[in-house]
Structure 1
Amino acid sequence: MAKKSQLSIRADSPSRSTEVVEQVNSDEGLLESLGYKQEFRREFTRWSTLSYAISIMGVLGSVPASWGSPLAAGGPTTAVWAWFSGSFFSLCIALSVAELVSAYPTSGGMYYVTKHVFPQDKVPLAAWIIGWSNFLGQTAGVASVGYSVAQMVLAAVSMSSVQDDGTVSFKPSAELTVGISIAILVLQGILCSLPSRQFSDTIRWFAPVNIIGSVAISIALLILTPNKIPPREVFGDVIDGSGWNNRGFSFLIGYLSVAWTMTDYDATAHLSEELHNAAVSGPVAIFQAVVISWLFGWLLNIAFGFGARDIDSLISSPMGNPAAQLFYNAGGSAGGFSMWFWVCLVQFFTGISAMLSDTRTCFALARDEALPFSGTLRKMNKHTDTPLYSVWSVVGFCCLLNLIALGSAQTINGIYGVTAPAMDLSYIAVIGARIYYEKELSIEKGPFRLGRWQKPINIIAIVWVMFISVILFFPPTYPVTALNMNYAVAIAGFIAFFAIGWWYAQGKGRAKFIAHTQ
């Protein structure tokens, strides 16, 4: 079906320019039929779109950043198999999202799809809640990636300061970490302010660095790591490290890594108004990116697992990151730093990709009058043809969130913890509505279709998200204290209360939003 919808364009075809123009006109016509005029330039190529979709997950950066969670909970076996099985369920979510955004390719992503899968009288409130949930989840994610890059950079400095006796002379402060995270967010904001053509030319390099780096580092670790543990301990020995006195539950906590990494599936959809043949290229890139991330993330977890001989020393590493300690154990200061540099770079790429998606979501919500100062946030800069007010509002919001880390690490970790469940729950609300109201509504189908597998895949996605959301909100260790408590559920509740309360208090603003969503 997808093949039929794509234009067949050969490099030596004399009608290539004519066909490209026809495709652009087709994309603009589809967007106009969905209620919006073309404001972005469609400059992303098929390769840059796929590279973007891969970089939003950024396994070479995200796996090392989150590996400590499954390692501490259930050991290397948990990290390996939780990633492998969790990626399958993540693929079900990605396919469900891809099919829906194929029919409605706009910058709003799944937020816009909401308008077509709920009955008309339920659309305004549903779109409001799902739009805000998706936007705030993305924003928390962007802030958390910026903070994790800062931690990784400082871990590299710590790696270079290891003394002969094994102690680390450099210990970063909270102020330094926050300061670097803000500098990183500002730099990412500058890159996200580029015109679409320049950004497309830049981002096409993100995926090759990610994939080649993942393979190279996995091989290097397998060769260089001394005293590797036996395969049985990597593939078949789940431990109970969570303190809940249950190895099965410890394994479930190991899903946190894949849940934190494999999310933001509709990020590519938020670029739909900048893609050629958006109804096909965006959904296909979503599917391909999850499969590629599944494979290379699993490879990294296996390579890491063979080096996890002393789990306690890795978890309590003075470098602040178990994977950084693993790299140091394998390559020493010089070798470990050389490998860790690429991890930091890919995580930086992930932050850029996540921020770009977030800015487009901000623009889409402002276009529908769903945000304060919507008239300003939706303005396009005449020089870059990008919404610079939305870009820098997102940057400013993320910087303010990271300032919270100066006063309370528990609070900021709770905010970061809202990222995955906020976005994933917004996805399944739309997917569930599509199933529930399918018979009474005329729901469009795009060129990317799941066919007879649509309903089973949708149901698997819904059940998985409901299950993993409980794990994401659960305290990861026992006994539960004020320091290790998972505050994400309380923060999620506050956000939900705020969003719904503001909806009922909005008055004229709400009336404008209703007009746009009906």
Structure 2
Amino acid sequence: MVKSERRDSSAGEDKEEACDVAVSDQRLQDLGYKSEFRREMSLFKVLGISFCAIGILTGMSSAFQTGLFSGGPVGLFWGWNICSFFMFLIALSLAEICSTYPTMGGLYFWVCKMKPDIPILGFFTGWLYSMAMVFTGIAGNLTVALYLASMAEVGQGRTLTRVEITAIAWAMNIFSGIVNTIGTKAIGHMSMFNVWWTLGGTFVLTITLLVKAPVKNSPDFVFTNFQNFTGWESRGFVVLLGFLQAVYTLEGCETAAQVAEEAVRAEILAPLAVAGSIAGSWLIGLAYMLSLLFAVQNIASVQATTYAIPISQLFYDAVGPQLAQLCLVVVMVSQVMAAITNFTASSRLFYALARDNAFPLKKQFMTLNRFQAPYWGVWTSVLIGCIISCAYIGSAVAFDAMLSSAAISVMLSYLQPIIIRVFWPDSIEDFGPFCLGKWSWPVNFASFSFCVFVCILFVLPTAYPANVLNMNYSIVAVGGLLVIITINWFWWGKHSFKGPVKTFTFK
């Protein structure tokens, strides 16, 4: 009797899941696409994808010195909360569109559907965002190498050369390619693991820092202390520069949309993951940041460090060499998963662009292996990563310029669909289940304003007086990328790309 009830229960669950899959496939077909991927992603897995891409532990750790030197604790605390609020509004804006168009192309496809009469907007968004994902993955893999270099310095007193660090970055690029080649199930399991790793890692880091730090800073220091190592005299401007740390950390929530065609009930799950990942990251990041601020022993020591990653010095001063290595391992593992997820997003974007004739070698980039992975896009990302990583051997400044352009490119990509929702509010006629209703336009306008503000802030000089070594070359890198995309549009895209190409038609 019990076995019969279990079989009936299992059959009922299978029937319900099959029904959900059918609903998801039908929605995709209504948008003109046939289902090419198996729907193996649950809410937890889709949410994990966005958590992976945001990489709250990695972003906070890798960019912490930006805020620490530009405004100090007061700038970090208020900057984090202000930026988290506006990034949550951006997430709500994107989630509403994602619910309407739950497809793999994400930002690119949304722009194409909302403004089909201006195909150049979709083309630019697709190329800009795909390159941003590749560059972010490259930056993540190099950061893994820098964490390993810091561990060698802390544990053995050995300083790795740029060639050795680049070789490690190459290995990480290839490893990211291998994991992505295995396919959806591997990425799904990794994303689930990352959620628990982030929660557990935050708990371990917070407790370790607060318990072991020899001197705990006062609340007055944590919430009001101002620091300025930038050379600029304006306190307000210096604090604003510290905002870049928060924005850089919180980018990536939209990555859930890249696996929408691999999720059950994507029109509900994907937008929930987009908005939920920012809300969760806001709280987790706040807890981690406060533990860092209460535990930091000497900000000048962190500023003058010789370690490859400055936060290594903060860990070393606060908890000693052995526990510092433990802290670095916790953050580094999270960084590995974040970089892998960026290549997941870029490969799906290449697939979507090729499907719509916005990318060359359509047949190759739309080919899936037996693991349901678009492996041409995966290994193109790896190849670009290995080539660009070589720039680090010659000049860390040149490499930083190329990779800092990724953060701006992501914000510019966010800006495209949000601009359409602000100036063409009727661009969506039939909303999905996740709808902001009367709050839609105010939320989109606030998101638009913040995106413009951040894009301007990202290209301003971060140090004064500016020289060859501390100059912000981001505008040069982003400008170069836009020039390349423009040339590509007039040379090839203008003639081949007319918007999304339907792969499914109703008979």
Query: TM-score, length-normalised on structure 1?
Result: 0.92
Deviation (angstroms), 1:156: 1.1
Aligned residue among 76, 79, 83 for 2:76: 79
Aligned residue among 211, 231, 250 for 1:243: 231
**Is this contact kept in 1: 2:177–2:343, CA < 8 A?**
yes
Tell me the amino acid that sits aligned with residue 123 of structure 2.
Answer: W
Listed as ranges, the matches of 1:217-366 within 5 Å are 217-366=205-354
Match status 1:150 vs 2:149: no
Residue 127 of structure 1 corresponds to which residue in structure 2?
Answer: 122
Match status 1:102 vs 2:93: no
**Is this contact kept in 1: 2:194–2:334, CA < 8 A?**
yes
**Is this contact kept in 1: 2:69–2:227, CA < 8 A?**
no
Q: Describe the SS at the equivalent of 1:514.
A: coil
Q: Which moved more, 1:100-109 or 1:194-203?
A: 194-203
Match status 1:469 vs 2:464: no
Once the two structures are superposed, what CA deviation does each residue of 1:387-422 show, in whole Å capped at 9, x if it has no partner? 111111111111111111112211111111111221
Q: Describe the SS at the equivalent of 2:498.
A: helix
Q: Which moved more, 1:302-311 or 1:472-481?
A: 302-311
Tell me the amino acid that sits aligned with residue 402 of structure 1.
Answer: S
Match status 1:140 vs 2:135: yes
**Is this contact kept in 1: 2:302–2:310, CA < 8 A?**
yes
**Is this contact kept in 2: 1:106–1:272, CA < 8 A?**
yes
**In 2, Cα distance between equivalents of 1:196 and 1:517:** 24
**Is this contact kept in 2: 1:185–1:398, CA < 8 A?**
yes
Match status 1:373 vs 2:357: no
Aligned residue among 435, 445, 464 for 2:422: 435
**Is this contact kept in 1: 2:122–2:499, CA < 8 A?**
no
Tell me the amino acid that sits aligned with residue 241 of structure 2.
Answer: I
Aligned residue among 412, 419, 429 for 2:399: 412
**In 2, Cα distance between equivalents of 1:252 and 1:128:** 32
CA RMSD, Structure 1 to Structure 2 (Å) = 1.7
Deviation (angstroms), 1:232: 1.0
**In 1, Cα distance between equivalents of 2:187 and 2:180:** 7
* Alpha-carbon spacing, 1:315–1:515, altered in 2? closer, same or farther (3 Å): closer
**In 2, Cα distance between equivalents of 1:514 and 1:403:** 36
Residue 487 of structure 1 corresponds to which residue in structure 2?
Answer: 473
**Is this contact kept in 2: 1:75–1:241, CA < 8 A?**
no
Once the two structures are superposed, what CA deviation does each residue of 1:270-307 show, in whole Å capped at 9, x if it has no partner? 10010000000011011111111111111111111123
**In 2, Cα distance between equivalents of 1:405 and 1:270:** 29
* Alpha-carbon spacing, 1:442–1:234, altered in 2? closer, same or farther (3 Å): closer
Residue 113 of structure 1 corresponds to which residue in structure 2?
Answer: 110
Deviation (angstroms), 1:344: 0.6
**Is this contact kept in 2: 1:107–1:364, CA < 8 A?**
yes
Deviation (angstroms), 1:321: 2.2
**In 1, Cα distance between equivalents of 2:287 and 2:499:** 49
**Is this contact kept in 1: 2:296–2:318, CA < 8 A?**
no
> Is there any run of 5+ residues in structure 1 with no aligned partner, and where?
1-10, 162-168
**In 2, Cα distance between equivalents of 1:412 and 1:196:** 31
**Is this contact kept in 2: 1:97–1:265, CA < 8 A?**
no
Residue 201 of structure 1 corresponds to which residue in structure 2?
Answer: 189
**In 1, Cα distance between equivalents of 2:179 and 2:71:** 39
**In 2, Cα distance between equivalents of 1:286 and 1:442:** 19
**In 2, Cα distance between equivalents of 1:132 and 1:326:** 38
Tell me the amino acid that sits aligned with residue 121 of structure 1.
Answer: D
Q: Which moved more, 1:87-96 or 1:305-314?
A: 305-314
**Is this contact kept in 2: 1:428–1:462, CA < 8 A?**
yes
Match status 1:424 vs 2:411: yes
* Alpha-carbon spacing, 1:156–1:442, altered in 2? closer, same or farther (3 Å): closer
Aligned residue among 10, 19, 22 for 2:19: 22
**In 1, Cα distance between equivalents of 2:364 and 2:189:** 28
Deviation (angstroms), 1:517: 5.8
Deviation (angstroms), 1:442: 4.9
Once the two structures are superposed, what CA deviation does each residue of 1:175-199 show, in whole Å capped at 9, x if it has no partner? 1111101101111111111132233
Aligned residue among 189, 197, 203 for 1:215: 203
* Identity %, equivalent residues: 27
Aligned residue among 378, 386, 405 for 1:391: 378
Report how many residues are paired. Answer: 496
**In 2, Cα distance between equivalents of 1:442 and 1:422:** 25
Listed as ranges, the matches of 1:51-62 within 5 Å are 51-62=48-59
Once the two structures are superposed, what CA deviation does each residue of 1:237-284 show, in whole Å capped at 9, x if it has no partner? 223322110111111011111111111232100100100000000110
Q: Which moved more, 1:88-97 or 1:328-337?
A: 328-337
**In 1, Cα distance between equivalents of 2:168 and 2:16:** 47
**Is this contact kept in 2: 1:368–1:516, CA < 8 A?**
yes
Deviation (angstroms), 1:364: 0.8
Match status 1:511 vs 2:495: yes
**Is this contact kept in 2: 1:241–1:250, CA < 8 A?**
no
Residue 505 of structure 2 corresponds to which residue in structure 1?
Answer: none
Deviation (angstroms), 1:515: 5.9
Once the two structures are superposed, what CA deviation does each residue of 1:34-70 show, in whole Å capped at 9, x if it has no partner? 1211111111122112222212111112211110111
Match status 1:189 vs 2:180: no
* Alpha-carbon spacing, 1:147–1:263, altered in 2? closer, same or farther (3 Å): same
> Is there any run of 5+ residues in structure 2 with no aligned partner, and where?
1-7, 503-507
Tell me the amino acid that sits aligned with residue 433 of structure 2.
Answer: P
Deviation (angstroms), 1:13: 6.8
Q: Which moved more, 1:11-20 or 1:358-367?
A: 11-20
Deviation (angstroms), 1:426: 1.6
Tell me the amino acid that sits aligned with residue 249 of structure 2.
Answer: T
Residue 65 of structure 1 corresponds to which residue in structure 2?
Answer: 62
Deviation (angstroms), 1:14: 4.8
**In 2, Cα distance between equivalents of 1:498 and 1:197:** 35
Tell me the amino acid that sits aligned with residue 150 of structure 1.
Answer: A
Query: TM-score, length-normalised on structure 2?
Result: 0.94
